[in-house]
Amino acid sequence: MPDALNPRVTDGRLFGRGSADPKGSMAAMLHLLQIAASDPLFPVDLCLAGSVDEEIEMSGSRALAQKNLAVDAVIVGEPTQLRIVTAQKGVVRWRVRTHGIAAHSATPELGQNAVRDMARVIEGLAAGIEPELTTHSHPVLGNATWNIGTIQGGSAVNVVPDVCEIEIDRRLIPGETANDVIQHVDAVLRELRGSYPDLRVEHDQPFVDLPAIHTAASQPIVQAAQRSVAAIGIPSIPEAVAYATDAAMLSGIGGIPAVVLGPGNIAQAHTSNEWIALDQLEQAVNIYQDICRQYAEIVS
């Protein structure tokens, strides 16, 4: 987007980097704080957390979650088109590495090809992991998934590669943990080593570990959000998403009931011409304010 850091308004839309994901939600929440600060009878106490590193490891919200905050409920601002999200998949990511022996490609018998060994590992992991993905599912989120996202190996075409590395992304459903997944991977690799005695394979500890969550419909924050969006004609049935948000940390680790709700469309996130509708920004302020009122009524 040309001049992406200088926003512009055209045809009722605000264009600019991050306008939908998630500066729109933050702007609406900041406006809500102004409303609450000027109203001595505002029905709930509020705090706003602007966390960092949401896209990768969620270190900001993880640190918050570990502080045992005295918070009863949380709204995570993400571009959901003001729909309510209460369930999201988790994710665990880790690296697997094979080690071979380098040699000249003219005499490959003197070496051990780490890329060919990794091919065996990939086949073995697929055979071990994929059947497990279909043995159980979540009623809202469906099945867990896995993907090999990167592979790196070899230094030159005339050299037998002595190392090869892949990165794996495994999406979790509620009830699964990263530890469970890694233990299963360990079992698969042990079996492979038994089948291929010369195979040297190892894996690192996960570099991303985000739990799956599903906030129960009985939670007051969910009920309050449903009342508020339904009042202006937005579908109020809670939805599920396959991606992860800071709710994974705040709810999955911190134990705080959470909903994800905000203006904008996730389809605009990370695009070259990101935008958000101004009328949704205004609706978001009203919805957030009404959720506070509804929440106070429900818990009183």
| HEC per residue, 134-172 | CCCCECCCECCEEEEEEEEECCCCCEECCEEEEEEEEEE
273 and 137 within one domain:
no
228 and 200 within one domain:
no
Amino acid at 216: A
- The predicted-structure confidence for 44-56, as pLDDT tens digits, reads as follows 999 999 988 888 7
Residue 224 pLDDT level (bands cut at 50, 70, 90): very high
Give the residue among 169, 181, 171, 149 at the shortest CA–CA distance from 241: 171
State which of 181, 209, 237 marks the end of a domain. 209
Give the residue among 8, 11, 24, 3 at the shortest CA–CA distance from 268: 24
Residue 275 pLDDT greater than 70, yes or no: yes
197 and 136 within one domain:
yes
Out of 15-24, 167-176, 224-233, least confident range = 15-24
Residue 233 falls inside a structural domain:
yes
Residue 124 falls inside a structural domain:
yes
Residue 251 to residues 2, 65, 142, 263: CA-CA distances in angstroms? 38, 8, 20, 21
Out of 88-92, 167-171, 229-233, 242-246, least confident range = 242-246
Distance CA(60)–CA(248), nearest Å, equals 12
We report the CATH number of the domain holding residue 47 as: 3.40.630.10
We report the CATH number of the domain holding residue 155 as: 3.30.70.360
Structural domain including 269 reads 8-88+212-299
Q: What is the pLDDT at residue 88?
A: 97
179 and 79 within one domain:
no
217 and 181 within one domain:
no
Question: If you average pLDDT over residues 88-95, what whole number do you get?
Answer: 96
Residue 28 pLDDT level (bands cut at 50, 70, 90): very high
Rounded to two decimals, the pTM is 0.87
Residue 91 pLDDT greater than 90, yes or no: yes
Q: What is the pLDDT at residue 278?
A: 96
| Percent of the chain residues past pLDDT 90, beyond the cut | 86
Distance CA(25)–CA(262), nearest Å, equals 5
Contact in structure between 295 and 220 (CB atoms under 8 Å): yes
Amino acid at 233: G
Question: If you average pLDDT over residues 223-248, what whole number do you get?
Answer: 95
Q: What is the pLDDT at residue 57?
A: 84
Average model confidence (pLDDT) across the chain: 95
Residue 126 falls inside a structural domain:
yes
Distance CA(91)–CA(243), nearest Å, equals 8
Contact in structure between 152 and 115 (CB atoms under 8 Å): no
Amino acid at 275: W
Residue 193 to residues 117, 119, 121, 271, 278: CA-CA distances in angstroms? 11, 14, 9, 44, 58
Q: What is the pLDDT at residue 12?
A: 94
Residue 1 pLDDT level (bands cut at 50, 70, 90): low
149 and 108 within one domain:
yes
* 2: exposed, middle or buried (Cβ count in 10 Å: 0-12, 13-18, 19+): exposed
State which of 183, 209, 235 marks the end of a domain. 209
| Percent of the chain residues past pLDDT 70, beyond the cut | 99
Number of structural domains found in the chain: 2
289 and 180 within one domain:
no
Residue 43 falls inside a structural domain:
yes
Q: What is the pLDDT at residue 30?
A: 97
Distance CA(184)–CA(197), nearest Å, equals 20
- The predicted-structure confidence for 99-155, as pLDDT tens digits, reads as follows 999 999 999 999 999 999 999 999 999 999 999 999 889 999 999 999 999 999 999
Residue 1 falls inside a structural domain:
no
Residue 113 falls inside a structural domain:
yes
Instruction: Tell me the three-class secondary structure of 42-108, residue by residue.
Output: CCCCCCCCCCCCCCCCCHHHHHHHCCCCCCCCEEECCCECCCCEEEECEEEEEEEEEECECEECCCH
224 and 192 within one domain:
no
Residue 170 pLDDT level (bands cut at 50, 70, 90): very high
Q: Which two tokens mark 280?
A: 């949704």
Residue 101 falls inside a structural domain:
yes
Helix (H) or strand (E) holding 285: helix 278-299
State which of 163, 186, 209 marks the end of a domain. 209
